[in-house]
């Protein structure tokens, strides 16, 4: 047994490699001293781990090296690339020309391109019909300023006595006056569910209980965003259209 401990390390590793498995009790039993056998296996395992430790560290160090990611372009650089694109330039010119046309009109509108999934084409056409009715009223008054002033006079005449608080509600900005008039027109002409129709200032996010049509109104060159909302279980259509179907 003492002679076996003096063998060179490579031969010792090779000779004891199979005997290192503890699932071979027959080979372990052939040794005269089981305690010395397992101590020897433990020593050889430690020596073998020491030789392999340096190579493992080198592999681990290489695997933990961060990958070099491509440099991300800044927002200004990406915008510069988009502006140089002929398609983007053409699209930008078309949008600017469209806005310039809307600024020249007394009253105009443009629907938002993002459609509510529950809104039908017929409901959107009805919103457009109400906008056409409002534009006709603006043109009949002689312009947006004349329409707003006539609307204020009509509201003052409807009250028995105009108070300071009432005057604040009557005299609104042109965009606010147009939004209020659009809501009243839709309530008057809607066949069913008119009490749930609202025209809200700004673009709103529908939470499931309302349908929404978003549009941008242009009033004498000034733009404002509004949202036409109504109950999700109501079908938005005009009273005249329902009578024609009947």
The pLDDT value recorded for residue 74 is 82
Compute the distance between CA of residue 151 and CA of residue 146 in angstroms, rounded to an integer.
8
Strands 210-219, 198-201: pairing kind:
unpaired
The pLDDT value recorded for residue 202 is 92
Q: 144 Cβ partners below 8 Å, 6+ apart?
A: 106, 107, 138, 174, 178, 219, 220
The pLDDT value recorded for residue 20 is 44
The pLDDT value recorded for residue 28 is 46
The pLDDT value recorded for residue 45 is 58
The pLDDT value recorded for residue 139 is 92
The pLDDT value recorded for residue 95 is 65
The pLDDT value recorded for residue 50 is 52
- pLDDT per residue over 182-237, tens digit each? 999 999 988 888 888 999 999 988 767 889 999 999 888 888 999 999 998 888 88
Kindly tell me the sign of the dihedral angle through the C-alpha atoms of 238, 191, 136, 180.
negative
* pTM for the predicted model, two decimal places: 0.59
Compute the distance between CA of residue 150 and CA of residue 178 in angstroms, rounded to an integer.
12
The pLDDT value recorded for residue 23 is 46
Compute the distance between CA of residue 213 and CA of residue 113 in angstroms, rounded to an integer.
10
The pLDDT value recorded for residue 31 is 47
The pLDDT value recorded for residue 167 is 81
Of 118, 135, 132, 138, the closest CA to residue 213 belongs to 118
The pLDDT value recorded for residue 1 is 44
The pLDDT value recorded for residue 165 is 79
Ranges in the chain, pLDDT < 70: 1-70, 82-84, 88-98, 101-102, 207, 241-246
């Amino acid at each position: 047994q003492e002679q076996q401990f003096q063998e060179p390390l490579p031969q010792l590793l090779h000779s004891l490699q199979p005997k290192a498995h503890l699932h071979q009790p027959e080979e372990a039993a052939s040794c005269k001293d089981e305690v010395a056998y397992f101590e020897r296996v433990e020593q050889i395992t430690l020596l073998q781990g020491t030789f392999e430790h340096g190579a493992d560290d080198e592999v681990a160090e290489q695997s933990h090296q961060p990958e070099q990611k491509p440099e991300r372009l800044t927002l200004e650089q990406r915008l510069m690339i988009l502006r140089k694109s002929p398609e983007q330039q053409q699209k930008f010119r078309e949008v600017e020309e469209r806005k310039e046309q809307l600024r020249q009109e007394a009253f105009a509108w443009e629907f938002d391109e993002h459609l509510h999934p529950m809104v039908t084409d017929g409901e959107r056409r009805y919103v457009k019909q109400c906008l056409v009715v409002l534009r006709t009223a603006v043109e009949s008054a002689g312009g947006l300023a004349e329409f707003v002033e006539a609307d204020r006079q009509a509201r003052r005449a409807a009250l028995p006595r105009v108070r300071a608080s009432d005057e604040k509600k009557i005299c609104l900005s042109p965009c606010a006056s147009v939004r209020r008039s659009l809501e009243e027109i839709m309530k008057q002409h809607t066949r069913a569910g008119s009490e749930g129709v609202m025209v809200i200032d700004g673009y709103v996010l529908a939470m499931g209980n309302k349908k929404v049509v978003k549009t941008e109104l242009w009033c004498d060159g000034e733009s404002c965003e509004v949202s036409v909302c109504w109950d999700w279980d109501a079908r938005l259509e005009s009273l005249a259209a329902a009578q024609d179907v009947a």
